[in-house]
């Protein structure tokens, strides 16, 4: 075959390849992995960077993460318990709930829980979602306790309705592991 005919056949093939045409009969779907949702990241998200920062340069401690459809929109939301690492005593926890459909680069907070229990100074041991509510277990203090030794076990129950959380239950019982001598 003369060089001229090889050149004439090569030019159209190169042009087809440059425009994205291939001999593959299946078209490739465009993938946009630049935006990932909170639900897609789940427990692997960098929660210490997404929750509210601690005051005074304290470190954020992520205590627990639960994934559940809190907002009842068909997508798992993230329930994240966090505290701040204190120098002398524990810092109380908060629980932040993030919309699972929101982008991980701009997470939308559905609410922050435990802000209504300030004197309990809860330090979360677990979060879960059951029977339509966020359940939080925490150690804390009461009017007789020393903040250095949380000697009360609290259980909180929050429901989500109309775009807001409401505390539905607060129970307390003594913790025998850290009490007076």
In a domain, 76, yes or no: yes
Domain that holds residue 126: 38-174
In a domain, 79, yes or no: yes
pLDDT attached to residue 18: 42
Extract the tokens encoding 90. 């524990």
Would you say residue 17 has pLDDT above 60?
A: no
Residues 6+ apart with CB under 8 A from 116: 167
pLDDT attached to residue 24: 45
In a domain, 33, yes or no: no
In a domain, 19, yes or no: no
Would you say residue 13 has pLDDT above 90?
A: no
Would you say residue 178 has pLDDT above 60?
A: yes
In a domain, 26, yes or no: no
Q: What kind and span of H or E run contains 11?
A: helix 3-18
Would you say residue 79 has pLDDT above 60?
A: yes
Would you say residue 181 has pLDDT above 50?
A: no
With tokens 């309705």, the residue in question is: 161
Instruction: Give burial (CB, 10 Å; 0-12/13-18/19+) of 132.
Output: middle
Would you say residue 1 has pLDDT above 70?
A: no
In a domain, 160, yes or no: yes
pLDDT attached to residue 179: 45
Total domains in the chain come to: 1
Q: Quick: pLDDT tens for 25-61.
A: 444 434 344 569 999 999 999 999 999 999 888 899 9
Residues 6+ apart with CB under 8 A from 107: 38, 50, 98, 99
Q: Quick: pLDDT tens for 63-72.
A: 999 999 999 9
**Cα 122 from Cα 5, distance rounded (Å):** 81
Residue 12's pLDDT band, with cuts at 50, 70 and 90, is very low
Would you say residue 9 has pLDDT above 80?
A: no
Which of 45, 43, 103, 99 is CA-nearest to residue 71?
Answer: 99
Q: Quick: pLDDT tens for 103-154.
A: 999 999 999 999 999 789 899 999 999 999 999 999 998 887 766 677 899 9
In a domain, 32, yes or no: no
Q: How many CA atoms, within 13 angstroms, populate the side-chain half-sphere of residue 145? A: 21
In a domain, 30, yes or no: no
Residue 88's pLDDT band, with cuts at 50, 70 and 90, is low
pLDDT attached to residue 118: 77
List b or e across 48-69, with b for residues whose CB sees 16 or more CB atoms inside 10 angstroms: eebbeebeeeeebbbbbbbbbe
- Whether pTM > 0.85 for this model: the answer is no
């Amino acid at each position: 075959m003369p060089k001229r005919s090889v050149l004439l056949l090569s030019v159209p093939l190169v042009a087809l390849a440059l425009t994205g045409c291939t001999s593959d009969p299946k078209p490739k779907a465009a993938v946009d992995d630049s935006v990932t949702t909170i639900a897609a990241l789940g427990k692997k998200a960098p929660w210490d960077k997404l929750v509210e920062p601690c005051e005074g340069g304290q470190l954020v401690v992520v205590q627990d993460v639960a994934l559940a459809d809190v907002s009842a929109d068909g997508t798992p939301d993230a329930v994240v318990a966090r505290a701040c690492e204190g120098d002398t005593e524990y810092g109380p926890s908060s629980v932040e709930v993030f919309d699972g459909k929101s982008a991980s680069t701009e997470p939308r907070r559905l609410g922050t829980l435990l802000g209504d229990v300030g004197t309990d100074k809860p330090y979360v041991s677990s979060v879960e979602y059951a029977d339509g509510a966020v359940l939080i277990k925490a150690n804390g203090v009461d009017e007789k306790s020393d903040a250095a030794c949380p000697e009360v076990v609290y259980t909180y129950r929050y429901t989500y309705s109309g775009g807001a959380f409401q505390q539905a239950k607060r129970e307390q019982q003594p913790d025998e592991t850290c009490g007076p001598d």
